[in-house]
């Protein structure tokens, strides 16, 4: 009989413990940018190490240490979002990259380059990650996105909040996301052809929640992208619509939408923070499920099916027909 001395490692032929848990962890890891999120979390944790040391060190670091706490916490939260909300990986990874680069001048050379480089590498991995094909994803059903939330919860229902702010602030300020229509309390009937809208600046106030739904038109249901927010500011607002051969226009120097603002858009494009230019649509690139209030877009153009708001305040309003 072969005896094993205490303290000696298990033989190589011995199976590893917890096989079921390891299989579940492996299947969960393969449906999200796990390693990119891990590097972002490690980068944020490294930025937090020195400022969270004894008080004398924090005082000696000054504003750089205080900024490191904010940016480091934001990167840790971003990494968690990449794990638990992989649908928003492109949006979150871009902001993680911006925060990592910002840490160089703001927080002691980006944690002596270590935290900055970890954040840049993690955000790049997360941005470039793509889901496995349906036939290759572990346990994925045919015709389903591996990142899609399953009915039994392989992806927890985590409410995304503002990236650089604590998660609790996002949960306190939010409203429920847009739900699918087809119910009596849905939006009113939209026009056959959505008007074209351009604006030099679009800035939501309060958290904007995005979703996809359908609105009724004279030609049948129209699939639209929905943005819900508490308020929104638009600059150099221009709207063009056509009724038969007549074209009508509405121009405003500024436009303020306040109170229960809902935008129904068939297309929405612009430059996030004036840097990253993207185009969102119901059937193309989906908008992030949550848009923080500090995010703005420039050079915006949209196809606007409907707008609902409690109050509209304009400056320099002009109506014209041609």
Which residue in this structure is represented by tokens 């994925």?
A: 140
User: Is it the case that residue 34 has pLDDT exceeding 50?
Assistant: yes
| pLDDT tens string 149-172 | 443 333 333 333 333 343 334 333
Q: Say what the pTM is.
A: 0.47
| Sequence-distant (≥ 6) Cβ neighbours of residue 270 within 8 angstroms | 202, 277, 278, 297, 298, 299, 300, 301
The tens digit of pLDDT for each residue in 259-281 reads: 889 999 989 899 887 877 888 88
Q: Report residue 184's pLDDT band, with 50, 70 and 90 as the boundaries.
A: very low
Instruction: Determine phi and psi for 320, rounding to 5 degrees.
Output: -150, 155
pLDDT in tens, 303-320: 988 888 999 898 888 877
Q: What does DSSP assign to residue 54?
A: -
- Res. 212: pLDDT tops 70: yes
pLDDT digits (tens, 9 = 90+) for 238-256: 988 876 677 778 899 999 9
CB crowding 237-267: b at 16 or more within 10 Å, else e: bbbebeeeeeeeebbbebbbbbeebbbbbbb
Residue 36, H or E segment: helix 34-49
- Helix, strand, or coil here: 57? helix
Q: Domain limits of the chain?
A: 19-136+160-170, 196-321
Q: What is the 3-state secondary structure (H, E, C) of 94-156?
A: HHHHHHHHHHHHHCHHHHHCHHHHHHHHHHHHHHHCCCCCCCCCCCCCCCCCCCCCCCCCCCC
């Amino acid at each position: 009989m072969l005896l094993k001395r205490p303290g000696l490692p298990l033989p190589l032929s011995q199976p590893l413990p917890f096989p079921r848990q390891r299989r579940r962890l492996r299947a969960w890891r393969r449906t999200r940018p796990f390693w990119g999120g891990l590097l972002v979390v490690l980068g944020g944790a490294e930025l937090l190490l020195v400022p969270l040391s004894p008080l004398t060190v924090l005082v000696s670091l000054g504003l750089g240490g205080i900024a490191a706490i904010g940016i480091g916490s934001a990167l840790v939260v971003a990494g968690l979002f990449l794990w638990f909300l992989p649908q928003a990986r492109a949006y979150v990874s871009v902001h993680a990259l911006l925060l990592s680069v910002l840490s160089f001048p703001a927080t002691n050379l980006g944690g002596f380059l270590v935290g900055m480089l970890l954040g840049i590498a993690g955000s790049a991995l997360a941005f470039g990650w793509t889901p496995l094909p349906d036939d290759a994803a572990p346990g994925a059903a045919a015709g389903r996105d591996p990142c899609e939330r399953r009915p039994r919860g392989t992806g927890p229902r985590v409410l995304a909040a503002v990236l650089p702010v604590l998660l609790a602030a996002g949960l306190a300020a939010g409203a429920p996301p847009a739900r699918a229509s087809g119910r009596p309390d849905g939006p009113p009937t939209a026009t056959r052809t959505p008007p074209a809208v351009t604006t030099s600046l679009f800035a939501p106030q309060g958290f904007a929640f995005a979703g996809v739904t359908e609105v009724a038109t004279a030609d049948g249901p129209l699939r639209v992208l929905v943005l819900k927010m508490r308020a929104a500011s638009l600059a150099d607002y221009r709207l063009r619509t056509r009724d038969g051969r007549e074209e009508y226009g509405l121009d405003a120097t500024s436009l303020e939408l306040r109170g229960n603002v809902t935008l129904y858009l068939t297309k929405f494009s612009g430059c996030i923070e004036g840097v990253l230019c993207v185009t969102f649509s119901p059937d193309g690139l989906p908008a992030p499920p949550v848009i923080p209030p500090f995010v703005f877009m420039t050079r915006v153009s949209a196809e606007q099916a409907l707008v609902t708001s409690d109050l509209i305040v304009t400056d320099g309003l002009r109506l014209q027909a041609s």
